[in-house]
Amino acid sequence: MSNTTTIQVRVNGVSRTDEVQPRLLLVHYLRDVLGLTGTHIGCETSLCGACTVMVDGAAAKSCTLLAVQADGCEVETIESLATEDGLHPIQEAFWDCHGLQCGFCTPGMIMATRQLLQENPSPSEEEIRRGLEGNICRCTGYKHIVDAVQQAAEQMKAGT
Amino acid sequence: MPVSKLVGTKVKRREDPRLVQGLSHYVDDLRMADVMHAAILRSPHAHAHINGINTDAAQALPGVVTVVTGADIGDSVGSVPCAAANPTLRTPPHPVLAQGEVRYVGEPVAVAVAGDSYTARDALDLIEVDYEPLPAVSDLEKALEPGSPLVHSQWDSNQAFTFECGTGDMDKARAEADVIVRQKFIHQRLAPIPVETRGVVARYFPGEDELTVWSSTQIPHLLRAMLALVLGFPEHRIRVIAPEVGGGFGCKLNVYREEALLAHLAMKLKATVKWIEGRRENMQATIHGRGQVGTVEAAVKKDGTILGVTYDSLLDTGAYHQLLTPGMPPLTGLMISGSYKIPTLKFTSTGGFTNKVATDAYRGAGRPEATLVIERTMDLIARELDMDPVELRRKNFAQPSDFPLSVATGLAYDSGNYQAALDKALEMVGYQDLRAEQKRLREEGRYMGIGFSTYVEICAMGPSAALPAGGWESGTVRMDFTGKATVLTGVSPHGQGEETTFAQIVSDDLGVPIEDVAVLHGDTAVVPNGIGTFGSRGISVGGTAVYMATQKVREKAEAIAANVLECSTDDLEFEDGKFTVKGVPDKGITIQEVALQAHVATKLPAGMEPGLQATSVFEPSNFTFPFGTHICVVEVDTHSGEIEIKKYVAVDDCGKVINPMIVDGQVQGGIAQGLGQALLEEVVYDEDGQLVTGSLMDYAVARAEDLPPLEFARTETPSPVNPMGVKGVGEAGTIGSTPSIVNAVVDALAPFGVTHIDMPLKPEKIWRLCQGGNK
Ligand code: FES
Ligand code: FES
């Protein structure tokens, strides 16, 4: 399986050029080639959302994309959210509201929240629950996640 | 600066900054040089003889290091252990790779090791296995009938064990009863589904002759002991590390074939080998929960007095015993009395082998079955006697003055106030109005139902005498030169937040800022000994050990402080991390200065050992018994069969609360899984033992939209079993919630003559009942 393809991807603001197997999944590229292990794998079948990242500004499940499909794209992972100044308001809100327990779903949940709030800066509880339907959390029962998304929405509106 | 008291308050979790940034390390995130990847070939058959395996093509694939089969391993690796003790137990050999026969879909048959995970998986496609299918049995009741295909041909039936408990004369109870209520219950198999699947990295250091195993486990110390036994390798040369663990819910309270297999491969190859379970493998080969069928019989007086209850049950063990498989029925049997005073109780269980993966502990582990049976039975009795289910419960409740309460199953419940929790929940839900509304809606042809669960559960596992491998827990508290505290705990959290709650305890009692307390866990080389996290024991057993060690540290610190201040310990007071001489407030020494003195060791009392640390091992004298009331209000759309949860009220009592935010989170998460069992989840095998629900597409885990708004409250009845009065809360939501939902739906459908529905309450089932009554 030595046939490889060259891809160019901007990941978290850094331009990358890598030789990859055409069959390499984007999530494995991020985790195994780039060492960005914050993006998790919970099902490999696009059903759990643990692997959610942003591709060209839209949330995508990186277990269902090939790395070659991201050629020429801008990819953002959970590692891109916090800055020198601290946590992103969504991260802060998940922390404040106890929106995580084992934390395994959390990076994907946060990236999905990012997408949700991008599209709808003031979601209702129902809209939040629907907006996160692609992401499974087995620990929290979602209530605190909904609280976190609401708090993040408030914060982000106040901040802009 | 005064240190505020943290116990009992919402302290934000100290685990979270790393988790919300994706910076923590679960097994799959560990980066190691020269790691090899293992992929496991699994049986596609529920039962088959293996005539032969040809690995030549797989071995020849470039990049493949080795391909290993059961024949290659032979008896060089022992049987996967089962720790449950039962004299009737039939324990089949449980090899790490199938030896000539496979007995469930997903059973490991061969393993390929390669330089990368894709190549390892490619190699699996090149392995040729010559299977000869054998008759399989999937249905539990059929498996126990004479003439059933045998899962293990060395025995004449599929009976795996029998168990019984209880006291009293049921014949007498029947004779005295006005009414006998009978009902069969099916507790469907559930898949635990932590979002992180299992995973193992094993590394052998040939020079040191040491083995390190990283595993996504709830029990690193027990795993180490078991690996020593299975591998025949000395325990003291094995180090087990549970790194960040992405949920367990009981399924990682186990020792699996893959853990021993990876360790074996690492030693054989003198290398580092990694295996990460795929979700499909997880559905096939990680233990399932529940899998029980049983029939209850209750003997009752007309006034609602319950004279006796029997529950005769079967457990679907699957094909092999995992660590605690036969240990589940006792937990059901012991809790069958629920929160009621029932003089006669009899529980029986027969385990049956089937051609399916093993069942074992999944959140609640045997108690959800008990709670469902007794709480459903209460509603059945109430219906039969035309009594309000609340009145029936009140009448049979154990009263606060009854504690410690001797129960006919042989347990002594520690403390409880069941009426108080019920009253609070009734008030929150507005019960009287609800009944009136129900009546009114029924007249309009709308079907609302109200369901109760006044549960009690058994936690804080537990006294060692009652557990197969020790029920104690260890805690070490150490203050170092610079006055920082390090806590070592034998519990191995995976989402429960003990890095925070244990630090709250230590911070309060030593008067050090919480930032100065580090809680370490999950590494057998760091934590001297331990049992692990399961059975809602983290705070109640592990936390107590830490609490006790903290008191010892404080006593020693006090002795050092007295020596430095040249006074007696009686003359000292301790507040906000500072020892001062009574009446001389400016004569004092901070605990950090004491820690320094303890290490500099020049002003210690004569004969005192230097250092400032202590270890305690807490052996609980009893279990704890958390309880509560869950009330669920539903409306059923009889045209579509859909169930809408209109209201859900949960009043839980887990004794003293260390961190209310974390307790709320545990309850909410628990309810999501209990609701999952009631409404959504079911592992389905077809008649031939093929797994139908093999992915998250077919197995319905609750998503955000499936959860109704929940209302919570607590009562607080301290436990006398431990000094902090804590009980444990990890499983309460799962145990307490399910019956309230089922009871609500059955109540809603009473006008259709429905008296019982088996879970999960899927719309199709409900719709059919609305069409044709209770079938
Ligand atoms: S791992 Fe991609 S959706 Fe589950
Ligand atoms: S926090 Fe564990 S799966 Fe969401």
**What are the pLDDT digits (tens) for B447-504?**
999 999 999 999 998 899 888 888 999 999 999 999 999 999 999 999 999 999 999 9
- Kindly state if the Cβ of A42 falls inside 6 Å of ligand 1: yes
- Kindly state if the Cβ of A137 falls inside 6 Å of ligand 2: yes
DSSP conformational letter for A63 = T
Looking at B79-237, list the stretches that DSSP marks H as alpha helix, in order from N- to C-terminal side. Answer: 117-125, 140-143, 170-176, 220-231
Ligand 1 atom closest to residue B696's alpha carbon, by position in its atom list = 4
Based on the fold, state whether residues A100 and A42 are members of the same structural domain.
no
Cβ contact (<8 Å) for A42 and B701? no
Tally Cβ neighbours within 10 Å of residue B518.
Answer: 16
Based on the fold, state whether residues A73 and A107 are members of the same structural domain.
no
Based on the fold, state whether residues B682 and B734 are members of the same structural domain.
yes
CATH of the domain at B86: 3.90.1170.50
Would residue B500 count as lying in a domain? yes
- Tell me how far apart the alpha carbons of residues B249 and B198 are, in angstroms, rounded to a whole number: 12
Which of A92, A104, A106, A149 would best serve as a mutation to test chain B binding (most B beta carbons within 10 A)? Answer: A104
Tokens of B704: 């955000």
- Tell me how far apart the alpha carbons of residues B669 and B663 are, in angstroms, rounded to a whole number: 10
Encode B613-652: b = buried (16+ Cβ within 10 Å), e = exposed: bbbbbbebebbbbbbbbbbbbbbbebeebebebbbbbbbb
Per-residue pLDDT of chain A (160 residues; tens, 9 = 90+): 468 999 999 999 999 999 999 999 999 999 999 999 999 999 999 999 999 999 999 999 999 999 999 999 999 999 999 999 999 999 999 999 999 999 999 999 999 999 999 999 999 999 999 999 999 999 999 999 999 999 999 999 988 6
Based on the fold, state whether residues A57 and A95 are members of the same structural domain.
no
**Domain limit, last residue, from B267, B285, B303:** B285
- Kindly state if the Cβ of A61 falls inside 6 Å of ligand 1: yes
φ, ψ at B29 (rounded to 5°): -90, -10
Domain of residue B531, residue span: 16-22+472-618
pLDDT for the residue B222: 97
Q: Closest chain A residue to B663 measured between Cα atoms?
A: A98
φ, ψ at A28 (rounded to 5°): -75, -35
pLDDT for the residue B774: 46
Q: Closest chain B residue to A106 measured between Cα atoms?
A: B20
Cβ contact (<8 Å) for A95 and B20? yes
Provide the whole-model pTM: 0.97
Q: Tell which one of B24, B195, B696 to mutate to probe ligand 2, the residue whose CB is within 8 A of the most ligand atoms.
A: B195
B118 contact A CB<8A:
yes
Q: How would DSSP label each residue in B354-402?
A: -SSPPB---TTTTHHHHHHHHHHHHHHHHHHHT--HHHHHHHHBPPGGG
Query: Do residues B463 and B623 lie in contact, with contact meaning Cβ atoms separated by under 8 Å?
Result: yes
pLDDT tens-digit readout, B219-274: 999 999 999 999 999 999 999 999 999 999 999 999 999 999 999 999 999 999 99
pLDDT for the residue A160: 62
Based on the fold, state whether residues B482 and B566 are members of the same structural domain.
yes
Tokens of B256: 């699996």
Would residue B305 count as lying in a domain? no
φ, ψ at A15 (rounded to 5°): -80, 135
- Kindly state if the Cβ of A109 falls inside 6 Å of ligand 1: no
- Kindly state if the Cβ of A101 falls inside 6 Å of ligand 2: yes
pLDDT for the residue A159: 81
pLDDT for the residue B548: 98
pLDDT for the residue A2: 60
Q: Give the gyration radius of chain A's Cα atoms.
A: 16
Q: What is the largest CA-CA distance in chain A?
A: 52
Based on the fold, state whether residues B535 and B655 are members of the same structural domain.
no
pLDDT for the residue B772: 78
Smallest Cβ distance to B668: which of A82, A105, A140?
A140
B395 contact A CB<8A:
no
Strand order in B64-69's β-sheet?
B64-69, B108-114, B35-42, B272-276, B199-205, B210-215, B238-241
Based on the fold, state whether residues B607 and B635 are members of the same structural domain.
no
**For residue B248, how far is its CA from the centre of ligand 2 (angstroms)?**
10
What is the 3 state secondary structure string of B175-217? HHCCEEEEEEEEECCECCCCCCCCEEEEEEECCCCEEEEEECC
Smallest Cβ distance to A106: which of B19, B28, B194?
B19
Q: Chain B window 333-392: which residues touch A at a Cβ cutoff of 8 Å?
A: none
Task: Evaluate the omega torsion of the peptide bond into residue B760 and state whether it is cis, within 30 degrees of 0.
Answer: yes
Query: Which residues of B fall within a CB distance of 8 Å from A39?
Result: 22
Smallest Cβ distance to B707: which of A43, A135, A143?
A143
Smallest Cβ distance to B665: which of A103, A135, A144?
A144
Query: Do residues B159 and B144 lie in contact, with contact meaning Cβ atoms separated by under 8 Å?
Result: yes
Q: How many CB pairs under 8 A join A and B?
A: 182
Query: Which residues of A fall within a CB distance of 8 Å from B26?
Result: 40, 104
Looking at B676-757, list the stretches that DSSP marks H as alpha helix, in order from N- to C-terminal side. Answer: 732-748
Smallest Cβ distance to B21: which of A28, A82, A133?
A82
Average of pLDDT values for B339-352?
98
CATH of the domain at B454: 3.30.365.10
Based on the fold, state whether residues A9 and A73 are members of the same structural domain.
yes
- Kindly state if the Cβ of A136 falls inside 6 Å of ligand 1: no
Based on the fold, state whether residues A59 and A105 are members of the same structural domain.
no
Based on the fold, state whether residues A73 and A101 are members of the same structural domain.
no
Cβ contact (<8 Å) for A136 and B703? yes
Q: Is B566 exposed, middle or buried (0-12, 13-18, 19+ CB in 10 A)?
A: exposed
Of A156-160, B138-142, B197-201, B740-744, the poorest mean pLDDT is in A156-160
| B212 Cβ contact list (under 8 Å, min separation 6) | B202, B203, B205, B238, B239, B240, B241
Based on the fold, state whether residues B655 and B610 are members of the same structural domain.
no
Would residue B768 count as lying in a domain? yes
From B242's Cα to the closest Cα of chain A, the distance in A is 13
Would residue A139 count as lying in a domain? yes
Would residue B270 count as lying in a domain? yes
- Tell me how far apart the alpha carbons of residues B216 and B226 are, in angstroms, rounded to a whole number: 15
**For residue A60, how far is its CA from the centre of ligand 1 (angstroms)?**
10
Q: Is pLDDT above 60 for B773? A: no
Q: Closest chain B residue to A24 measured between Cα atoms?
A: B118
From B665's Cα to the closest Cα of chain A, the distance in A is 6
Based on the fold, state whether residues A56 and A108 are members of the same structural domain.
no
Cβ contact (<8 Å) for A41 and B28? yes
pLDDT tens-digit readout, B209-228: 999 999 999 999 999 999 99
Number of domain units in chain B? 3
pLDDT for the residue B469: 83
Based on the fold, state whether residues A125 and A60 are members of the same structural domain.
no
Would residue B82 count as lying in a domain? yes
Average of pLDDT values for B104-121?
98
Based on the fold, state whether residues A105 and A70 are members of the same structural domain.
no
Based on the fold, state whether residues B701 and B599 are members of the same structural domain.
no
pLDDT tens-digit readout, B349-384: 999 999 999 999 999 999 999 999 999 999 999 999
How far is the CA of A101 from the CAs of A98, A115, B89, B192, B730, in angstroms? 7, 22, 37, 16, 12
Based on the fold, state whether residues B609 and B651 are members of the same structural domain.
no
Q: How confident is the model at residue B775 (pLDDT cuts 50, 70, 90)?
A: very low
Q: Which ligand is nearest to the CA of A94?
A: 2
- Tell me how far apart the alpha carbons of residues B459 and B282 are, in angstroms, rounded to a whole number: 27
Based on the fold, state whether residues B446 and B507 are members of the same structural domain.
no
**For residue B282, how far is its CA from the centre of ligand 1 (angstroms)?**
14
Based on the fold, state whether residues B647 and B601 are members of the same structural domain.
no
What percentage of chain B reaches a pLDDT higher than 70? 99
Average of pLDDT values for B553-567?
97
Query: Which residues of B fall within a CB distance of 8 Å from A104?
Result: 26, 194-196, 246-247
Q: Which amino acid is at B49?
A: H
Q: Tell which one of A28, A45, A55, A133 to mutate to probe ligand 1, the residue whose CB is within 8 A of the most ligand atoms.
A: A45
Closest by CA to B364, choosing from B328, B337, B413, B418, is B328
Average of pLDDT values for B330-355?
97
Cβ contact (<8 Å) for B704 and A21? no
**Domain limit, last residue, from A30, A49, A78:** A78
Closest by CA to B454, choosing from B341, B340, B366, B345, is B340
pLDDT for the residue B665: 97
Would residue A84 count as lying in a domain? no
Which protein residue has the closest C-alpha to ligand 2 atom 4? A137
Based on the fold, state whether residues A43 and A11 are members of the same structural domain.
yes
Smallest Cβ distance to A141: which of B25, B31, B671?
B671
Based on the fold, state whether residues B589 and B726 are members of the same structural domain.
no
Q: Across chain B, what does the average pLDDT equal? A: 96
Q: Give the gyration radius of chain B's Cα atoms.
A: 28
pLDDT tens-digit readout, B713-761: 999 999 999 999 999 999 999 999 999 999 999 999 999 999 999 999 9
- Kindly state if the Cβ of A139 falls inside 6 Å of ligand 1: no
Q: Closest chain A residue to B243 measured between Cα atoms?
A: A102
**For residue B609, how far is its CA from the centre of ligand 2 (angstroms)?**
44
Which of B12, B20, B277 would best serve as a mutation to test chain A binding (most A beta carbons within 10 A)? Answer: B20
Based on the fold, state whether residues B589 and B690 are members of the same structural domain.
no
Number of domain units in chain A? 2
Based on the fold, state whether residues B655 and B724 are members of the same structural domain.
yes
From A72's Cα to the closest Cα of chain B, the distance in A is 24
Q: Closest chain A residue to B191 measured between Cα atoms?
A: A138
**Domain limit, last residue, from A44, A78, A112:** A78
Q: Which ligand is nearest to the CA of B13?
A: 2
Beta strands in B290-374 (DSSP E): 292-300, 306-318, 344-353
- Tell me how far apart the alpha carbons of residues A77 and A94 are, in angstroms, rounded to a whole number: 17
CATH of the domain at A148: 1.10.150.120
- Kindly state if the Cβ of B247 falls inside 6 Å of ligand 2: yes
Domain of residue A150, residue span: 89-159
From B118's Cα to the closest Cα of chain A, the distance in A is 9
